[in-house]
Amino acid sequence: MNLANLFEVSTLTAAVNKLPAMPTKAGAMGIFEEKGIATTTVVIDEKEGRLVLVPNASRNDEGQHIKGGKRKRIVLETAHLPLSGTLLPSELQNLAAFGAQDGVLASQATVINNKLQDMKNSIEATREWQRIGAITGKILDADGKVLYDLYDEFAVAKKSINVAFSTATHDVRKDCLDAKRHAEKKLAGVMVTGFRSFCDAEFFDALTSHESVKAAYAHYQEAQDRLGGDMRSGFTYGGIEFVEYEISVSGQPFIAAGTARVFPIGRGVFQMYNSPANYNETVNTIGMPYYAKAQERDMGKGWKLEVQANPLGMCLFPEALVELKAV
């Protein structure tokens, strides 16, 4: 293999997909099922009262038969997230391993992978931004502009519960149970294995310091202290695991101040659709989470690198999402 082979689309794409993704809470939980598609749009239909992905079919075939209820069809476009960088000859120069050409290529491959890793990390942060958008019901662009309001797209109502932390006698546990009951009613028989909630630091502190929660938190904390755990990474109360998610990217907080987002854990609730890259080699192929490609610069002075993703994070049951607001 020579240096040019390292820059082929198949080689770079395989490399960037094998590189570790930066740690992300929603991504690490594995609640989003990765699904590659061959188109740049996702079509979601209603079947027997449930929203499902519509499979591609021949134009000569009859459409899927929908049983009962008013038909809904939603067409959403995947995002296009390209990120460019430059690899200069000077960055590959003087990397020779003693006495071995293979060592030279191995060292150069390491430099290329390091470049790809930095670019992949930025894109993975954006994919996580989409996951959080699916969990909150609004998928936002990097500048905070709403790309898709899932409540509007699916024509369902947003559920919000005010939690009166300012009242010492307020029953916080009942609010948690009400959130779960609401979600369970809206899930149309989906098997749920649990409930989680991402909350900001303000909500987490208000929750764990409330009179009705203090004792439970103290006992939970005592048990975790024996293991050296960080309580903010997961405190279960009222059947909901509350996880503090106090992260901002480019000035955009992932979770709004004073709020918690409760969501069900179950197969088929959350999807991450991946469209193919806009390269000649990838037209009409099944999409992958990441792509990478290189193009030689003018006069052979290095390479222009691109890493891209074409995702759409989606919650197929936005009516089952619940917002808790500290008041």
- CATH number reported for the structural domain that contains residue 236 in this entry: 3.30.1930.10
Q: Residues 30, 33, 35, 40: is their CA dihedral positive or negative?
A: negative
Looking at residues 154-179, what average pLDDT do you find? 96
Identify the band that residue 107 occupies on the pLDDT scale cut at 50, 70 and 90: confident
CA–CA gap between residue 157 and residue 319 (Å, rounded): 6
Range of the domain at 36: 3-147+271-311
CATH number at residue 17: 3.15.30
Q: What is the pLDDT of residue 68?
A: 44
Q: 152 lies in a domain?
A: no
Number of domains in the chain: 2
Distance from CA of residue 282 to its chain's centroid? 23
Mean pLDDT, rounded, for 182-209: 93
Q: Would 208 be classed as within a structural domain?
A: yes
Confidence of residue 112 (pLDDT cuts 50, 70, 90): confident
Find the range with the poorest average confidence among 66-80, 93-107, 169-183, 190-204. Answer: 93-107
pLDDT tens digits, 235-269: 899 999 999 998 887 778 899 999 999 999 999 89
Same domain, yes or no: 18 and 99: yes
Residue 217 lies in a domain: yes
Q: Are residues 141 and 197 in the same domain?
A: no
Question: Which two three-digit tokens encode residue 172?
Answer: 């916080």
Percent of the chain with pLDDT over 90: 56
Same domain, 55 and 27: yes
3-state secondary structure 24-55: CHHHHHCCEEEEECCCCEEEEEEECCEEEECC
More reliable by pLDDT, 274 or 230: 274
Quick check: is 153 in a domain? no
CB 264 within 8 A of CB 192: yes
Residue 218 lies in a domain: yes
Residue-level pLDDT at 307: 94
Q: Give the pLDDT confidence score for residue 5 in this predicted structure.
A: 60
Same domain, 165 and 137: no
- Cα–Cα distance for residue pair 45/53, rounded to 1 Å: 6
